[in-house]
Amino acid sequence: MESSATFIPPLLLRNILATLFLYADKPLLTLSHRYKLLHFLRSLLISSFLFLLSLLPSLLPPQTHHHNNDNYPPKSHNYPSAPSAAGGPGTDSGLARALSQLLSLVNHIPVSSRKYEVVRSLAERIIDENLREGSQVLLEVNRSVLSAAFSRTLSQLEAAVLDRARNNEYSEPDPTDVAEEGTEEVGVGGESYRKVSRVFKAVRFYGDAAWTRFGRRRRGEVGGLRMGGSAEKLAAEVLWLAEKMAACGCVEEAVVKWSSATHLAWLGLSAEPRLQGSLVKVSAFLFKQAKNLGAEEGEESKKEQQRQTKMKMLVSWLPLLCRASNGTDAPVLSINERAELERVLEETIEMLEQEEEQEKVLSLWLHHYTYCPSSDWPNLHACYARWCSASRKLLLLH
């Protein structure tokens, strides 16, 4: 078995070397500003170092690509087959395996393909027919397969959003930025480091392009097929799967997994408006489902877990609701949907019971609501005022 302990991904290695070079260059930068010879030597050193970085991917062994420090995409891609779902009786049946395979194919087939609707409709038909039968065994098939599909699709969605963020970060630089490095005098202070940073950005872009051009598969590709498709497509599939899980009585699993997707929520704050809209739609649906958790009688430990899930949902996804675009061509949510979600958020916050937790959530809302000039939603002013009043009364009692 190949050891991964000594493996360093090429992108990480380049970033480490670049950081070390910046620190080592600081004393030389100050002296080169005074002496022309040192300025020339420093320019030569920078050029040589950048040339070395551009060659770095081709110097590494090919097998290093198969490692992934981000764990994206999932390690097993038995495409076109899908892994069978684990669970109770029937979950290892032929029907469960068939449904798993169909849902896996839905992730892989582009929406533009005429096969996409065929495969998705077939999967939906099996789910609905299992649901209509009312058999506990068939319901368990639906639940276990949908849960596994939701986890897989959510992982692919986060990987796609992360990949897009990295592509934006390493997008092709403005040629004038690169030209400035060779013609302008390098000054002292932050401006100099910003210029050097732009050069590193340019080198990383061209290095990544060369890495791809010379036959290295990009992360998330199997047999030349891009895994998961676009982030918007995957977000729509996450929402579809969540709706099916709600119909099958297992939506709590989707709520728990969505509330734990904190990295995805953070990436969504700086995503493109269309992608933000897709994430808002998923969040809106699952916030409504989360509100009803714990409504029925149950064990105290279970209720405590559900309360923590609601708290995580609010902390993770409330900032995105405040900062996401309302839609360019059409609103992401209708006026009625927005008003309904505001009521859901207020009720969910007030269900937290503990004053400190409500304070944390409302403080988070106020921060993002205030610092986003393009949106005045969600409006939780009334909820904030009620919390202040309740807090005042508690203070007077003590």
Which domain covers residue 201, as residue numbers?
Answer: 10-71+173-220
**382 and 271 in one domain?**
yes
pTM (predicted TM-score): 0.66
Helices 136-169, 231-247: crossing angle, 10 deg rounding: 160
Q: Are strands 221-222 and 225-226 parallel, antiparallel or unpaired?
A: antiparallel
**267 and 201 in one domain?**
no
pLDDT top residue among 49 and 164: 164
pLDDT digits (tens, 9 = 90+) for 153-206: 999 999 999 988 887 755 444 433 333 333 333 333 444 445 444 544 554 444
Our measurement of the distance from residue 388's CA atom to the centroid of its chain's CA atoms, rounded to an integer in Å, reads 34
Token readout for 57 is: 């991917």
**195 and 276 in one domain?**
no
**298 and 191 in one domain?**
no
**345 and 213 in one domain?**
no
Instruction: Flag whether 231 is in a domain.
Output: no
Instruction: Flag whether 86 is in a domain.
Output: no
Instruction: Flag whether 309 is in a domain.
Output: yes
What residue type is assigned to position 225 of the chain?
A: L
Contact status, residue 260 vs residue 154, Cβ threshold 8 Å = no
Contact status, residue 119 vs residue 106, Cβ threshold 8 Å = yes
What pLDDT does 73 receive?
Answer: 38
Q: Cα Rg for the chain, rounded, in angstroms?
A: 26
Instruction: Flag whether 89 is in a domain.
Output: no
Query: What is the percentage of the chain residues whose pLDDT exceeds 70?
Result: 61
Instruction: Flag whether 313 is in a domain.
Output: yes
**380 and 285 in one domain?**
yes
Instruction: Flag whether 61 is in a domain.
Output: yes
Count of CA atoms in the C-beta half-sphere (13 A) of 264: 28
What pLDDT does 55 receive?
Answer: 62
**396 and 321 in one domain?**
yes
**200 and 256 in one domain?**
no
**382 and 315 in one domain?**
yes
Query: How far is residue 211's CA from residue 395's CA, in Å, rounded to a whole number?
Result: 63
pLDDT digits (tens, 9 = 90+) for 246-292: 999 999 999 999 999 999 999 999 899 899 999 999 999 999 999 98
pLDDT digits (tens, 9 = 90+) for 101-127: 999 999 999 999 999 999 999 999 999
**202 and 55 in one domain?**
yes
* Total count of domains within the chain: 2
Q: How confident is the model at residue 66 (pLDDT cuts 50, 70, 90)?
A: very low
The answer to whether the peptide bond before residue 331 is cis (omega within 30 degrees of 0) is no
User: Is it the case that residue 320 has pLDDT exceeding 70?
Assistant: yes
**277 and 205 in one domain?**
no
What pLDDT does 60 receive?
Answer: 54
**319 and 210 in one domain?**
no
Contact status, residue 248 vs residue 131, Cβ threshold 8 Å = yes
pLDDT top residue among 21 and 97: 97
User: Is it the case that residue 306 has pLDDT exceeding 70?
Assistant: yes
Instruction: Flag whether 33 is in a domain.
Output: yes
Query: How far is residue 19's CA from residue 49's CA, in Å, rounded to a whole number?
Result: 12
